[in-house]
Amino acid sequence: MADVRLRKGGLKSSLESSEAENKSYRNKEELTVKEKRGYSWIFVSTLCFYGVILGISYLESRSVPSPKRHVDSHIGEFSEERARVHLDAITSFGPRPTGSVANEIHTVKYILDQVANIKLSAKKSVVIEVDVQKPSGTFFLDFLDGFTSHYYNITNIVVRVSPVKNSPPEHSVLINAHFDSVPNSPGASDDAVSCATMLEILRVMAQCPAANLTHAVIFLFNGAEENVLQASHGFITQHPWTKSIRAFVNLEAAGAGGKEIVFQTGPEHPWLVKAYTEVAPYPSAQVIGQEIFQNGLIPSDTDFRIFRDHGNIPGIDIAYHTNGYVYHTYYDTPAAITPGSIQRAGENVLTVVMEMANSPLLTDPGEYRHGAMVFFDFMGLFMVHYPERIGVIINGITFIFTVALIAKKMFISRKKGEGGMQVNRISITSLLSSFGILLLSWVAGLTFPLTVAAILTTSGHSLTWFCRPYLIAGLFVSPVLLGIGSVHCLVKHVTLLPKEKSSGDKTNALTQLWQQETNVFYSSLIIWTGLLGVMTYYNLASAHLPLLWVIFPLCIRVFIWENMLRKNSCGTGNIVQFLIMYLSSVLVPVCFTSYSCVTVLDLFMPIMGRSGSQTIPDVFIAVIVAILVIVLTSYLVSLLYLMRNMNWAGLFLCALTFLSISISLSGLAFPYSAEKQCPKRFFYQHIVRTFHGMDGSVVKKDSGIWLNPLDYNGITHLKDVPLIKQAKQVMTDDGVYQGFPYYLPARNLFKT
């Protein structure tokens, strides 16, 4: 009986063991089915995630308040309708180059008449003084190739609003804009709209009982900015009222309509940024823009430089940047300025100037006299600002903590998962391998769009995307994604998936894929941490960008997910939970970067039409797009290891790239368009040349039309125009600039 019972027990044990194995097998099969389902959801969800954020970023970048009509606004409110009356009047005089009748007589008379009307209806608590200045002078300007500028008898209209109790004022705030324009442009956005805005702000300050001033506000309507920054120099170096100026706000434009943005501040005096961020109802400011502008990546300059360098005054530089295609062209009309953009700018500038004029920091900045600010807006919704020294501390702590955490994960195992597998330890070898793979994918992501740019440039089809921004998606974005994705997919299919086929152990193969995903994630984290350290070391205020890309993934994925929520040794947990965690960890940096992408492309794409014939625009934009896409996908590329088959996505990207290149090479995408108001630009000058010998006698004298194209295409598209076809190309090696004197010393911009 004992033997029988033993055999029965053995049989029972064997059956239980077999059932357990079958259950384990079924669990593995169920896991595999679930994972395969999860792969599809990961791709679709990630695609929707990026699509929604990019869509919101674009819409938010175009969002402006509704313009207030005269009948709907009370006396103390800024009204776009009133400001547009001034804008229409100023632009009705036509182009207003310095020295023209339109600029020196008609525009000056209009502004003085409007100021006189405002003065008549001003409240008794303010004193309004008006002065017309006619300065002459000379100064050196280190701009373009550098030059000495001489001006004579130019026009400035200066209006000072002071409280009666503090007149004449000891302290004041300056607000500046120019009413002149380049030849052949109505100059609506540059800068008549800012003059119109200032007139409406002047009316509010002069008439509104609630608009009480502690210190004075000086309005400078300057009449010679375009050739180049002369009127502001004449004012700041010669006018007697400048002695009281403690801060300024400069209003400019590099585009028409949309949101105006603070793109540079200082020097030092961080209280100015603090004032803007705390009171502006629609703040928009990026310290990254300040570093881009001050490093010369944008071929422009503003009166900010003059007030800063010649007046030693701190200030804020504000400019429109959307639709730069019409900047300095015939199309820069009031119609190009989107409804609501004047309302937005007017309310912002009014509140900021009032805050500055009433701030005790205007007279004594105290601790806010020195130092710099880190500042940025989050998708135009709110501002973030903090002293640069605090930023260094935050960045330093984050850097040290992240490095220590990664080192701990590489050398210390905290706990063991099922089967004794180490959960939190990262293999140094596999991490270094993933690090190299990630860098290689980024190199490929840069190489692919540069190859497309080279094809377009060498084939004579540059700037095909200039009037068709949507072509950027196929010409440059798709190649970046193809380059990045091809490297990771190749690694997965060559090194990881064959192990699954050879061993037949799908669960173990999935574990390896998850481990590779983790390694790539930590490789991205290491790169962002290193970039944070380098930018902090060099005192770059824009280090807040890598800070966002470090701190949110670190907190959400590493701390919350890996230490609190993860349920199994593979690191997957529930696939839906994992995806929610992953997208949540990059939500803030992706939102911030996506919004910045829209701003960057809005700015630089139109600039390529006026950056000079030496800059290769397709290469420049390809590099910009590649950097933006690499940043946006820096963490998300790790998810490629969790997606079984990406062939169809690759085919779609290849087809999109091929279609875009075909359209560009076919001639269907002509670079310029009058209908879309994105013209080709030239310096078109009638010149008279007089050559003198060493004794001063005239050796030779001639004249002609000189055509200087402002983009890389040169005169390629004009060779069949009769005027160009009949023209004689003349070039010698005699004299400065090869015998051809430039109106502006911009030799480095042109191929001669």
| pLDDT tens, position by position, 260-280 | 999 899 888 999 999 999 999
Q: What is the pLDDT of residue 38?
A: 41
Q: At what angle do helices 303-311 and 230-238 cross, to 10 degrees?
A: 30
pLDDT bin (cut points 50, 70, 90) of residue 39 is low
In CATH, which of 2.60.40.10, 3.40.630.10, 3.40.190.10, 3.50.50.60 is domain 82-379? 3.40.630.10
Q: What is the pLDDT of residue 8?
A: 44
Let me know if 121 is exposed, middle or buried by CB neighbors in 10 A (0-12, 13-18, 19+). exposed
Taking residues 488-517, report their average pLDDT. 72
Residues in CB range of 188: below 8 A, 6 or more apart: 87, 91, 256, 332, 333, 334, 336, 337
**Alpha-carbon span 388 to 410, nearest angstrom:** 33
E-state strands within 143-244: 147-151, 156-163, 172-178, 216-222
E-state strands within 613-659: none
Report which of 160, 86, 161, 159 is spatially closest to residue 123, judged by C-alpha positions.
Answer: 161
- pTM score, two decimals? 0.88
pLDDT bin (cut points 50, 70, 90) of residue 345 is very high
Query: Which pLDDT tens digit goes with each residue over 634-673?
Result: 999 999 888 877 888 899 999 999 999 999 999 899 999 9
More confident residue, 210 or 111: 111
Q: Before 95, cis peptide (omega within 30)?
A: no
Q: What is the pLDDT of residue 737?
A: 65
Q: Does 30 have pLDDT greater than 60? A: no
Looking at residue 242, its amino acid is T
Q: What is the pLDDT of residue 29?
A: 44
Give the up-direction half-sphere exposure of residue 59: CA atoms within 13 A in the CB hemisphere: 6
Phi-psi region of 734 (alpha: psi -120 to 50; beta: other; left: phi over 0): beta
More confident residue, 188 or 516: 188
Query: Which pLDDT tens digit goes with each residue over 554-568?
Result: 999 988 888 777 655
Q: CA–CA distance from 308 to each of 549, 596, 699 (Å)?
A: 34, 27, 44
Of the listed ranges 382-391, 405-414, 494-503, the least confidently predicted one is 494-503
Q: CA–CA distance from 390 to each of 272, 387, 394, 536 (Å)?
A: 17, 5, 6, 11
324: which 2 tokens?
Answer: 């730069």
Given the residues 225, 226, 252, 347, the one annotated as active site: 225
Query: In this structure, how many other beta carbons lie within 10 angstroms of the beta carbon of residue 671?
Result: 22
> Is residue 316 within 8 Å of residue 262, measured between CB atoms?
yes
**How are the residues of the chain apportioned to helix, strand and coil, as percentages rounded to the nearest 5?**
55, 15, 30
Residues linked to residue 148 through DSSP beta bridges, in sequence order:
140
pLDDT bin (cut points 50, 70, 90) of residue 504 is low
φ/ψ (deg, to 5) at 529: -65, -40
Q: What is the pLDDT of residue 748?
A: 63
Q: What is the pLDDT of residue 724?
A: 80
Q: Does 282 have pLDDT greater than 90? A: yes
Query: Which pLDDT tens digit goes with each residue over 375-406?
Result: 999 998 999 999 999 999 999 999 999 999 99
> Is residue 464 within 8 Å of residue 456, measured between CB atoms?
yes
More confident residue, 292 or 95: 95
More confident residue, 180 or 642: 180
pLDDT bin (cut points 50, 70, 90) of residue 6 is very low
Percent of the chain scored above 70 by pLDDT? 86
Q: CA–CA distance from 452 to each of 459, 472, 490, 568, 656 (Å)?
A: 11, 11, 22, 45, 13
Query: Which pLDDT tens digit goes with each residue over 293-332?
Result: 777 667 678 999 999 999 999 999 999 999 999 999 999 9
More confident residue, 411 or 508: 411
Query: Which pLDDT tens digit goes with each residue over 592-626?
Result: 999 999 999 999 999 999 988 888 999 999 999 99
What mean pLDDT, rounded, does the chain reach? 87
pLDDT bin (cut points 50, 70, 90) of residue 40 is low
Told to judge if 225 belongs to the known catalytic residues of this protein, a careful annotator would answer yes
**Alpha-carbon span 517 to 492, nearest angstrom:** 10
More confident residue, 541 or 75: 541
More confident residue, 172 or 288: 172
Residues in CB range of 72: below 8 A, 6 or more apart: none
Hey, is 105 helix, strand or coil? Answer: helix
Q: What is the pLDDT of residue 749?
A: 65
Query: In this structure, how many other beta carbons lie within 10 angstroms of the beta carbon of residue 687?
Result: 13
pLDDT bin (cut points 50, 70, 90) of residue 688 is confident
**Alpha-carbon span 301 to 744, nearest angstrom:** 13
Residues linked to residue 285 through DSSP beta bridges, in sequence order:
262
Query: Which pLDDT tens digit goes with each residue over 412-428?
Result: 654 444 444 444 567 88
Taking residues 333-362, report their average pLDDT. 96
φ/ψ (deg, to 5) at 542: -75, 5
Query: In this structure, how many other beta carbons lie within 10 angstroms of the beta carbon of residue 645?
Result: 13
Q: Does 543 have pLDDT greater than 50? A: yes
Looking at residue 181, its amino acid is S
Residues in CB range of 252: below 8 A, 6 or more apart: 177, 190, 191, 194, 302, 303, 304, 317, 318, 319, 320
Let me know if 487 is exposed, middle or buried by CB neighbors in 10 A (0-12, 13-18, 19+). buried
Q: What is the pLDDT of residue 37?
A: 42
Query: Which pLDDT tens digit goes with each residue over 437-491?
Result: 999 999 999 999 999 999 999 999 999 999 999 999 999 999 999 999 999 999 8
**Alpha-carbon span 102 to 158, nearest angstrom:** 19
DSSP state of 221: E
Q: What is the pLDDT of residue 232?
A: 97
Q: At what angle do helices 388-411 and 506-537 cross, to 10 degrees?
A: 150
Q: What is the pLDDT of residue 497?
A: 60
Report which of 168, 653, 287, 150 is spatially closest to residue 445, judged by C-alpha positions.
Answer: 653
> Is residue 276 within 8 Å of residue 266, measured between CB atoms?
no
What is the gyration radius of the CA atoms in the chain, in angstroms? 32
CATH 3.40.630.10 domain extents, the chain: 82-379
Please, what's the b/e burial string for 195-222 (b: 16 or more CB within 10 A of its CB; e: otherwise)?
bbbbbbbbbbbbeeeebebbbbbbbbbb
Q: Does 33 have pLDDT greater than 60? A: no
Query: Which pLDDT tens digit goes with each residue over 212-253?
Result: 899 999 999 999 999 889 999 999 999 999 999 999 999 999
Q: At what angle do helices 428-458 and 478-491 cross, to 10 degrees?
A: 150
Hey, is 692 helix, strand or coil? Answer: strand
Q: What is the pLDDT of residue 231?
A: 97
Report which of 182, 142, 174, 183 is spatially closest to residue 156, judged by C-alpha positions.
Answer: 174
Q: What is the pLDDT of residue 25?
A: 41
**Alpha-carbon span 691 to 702, nearest angstrom:** 9
- Give CA 332 to chain center in angstroms: 22
Q: What is the pLDDT of residue 50?
A: 95
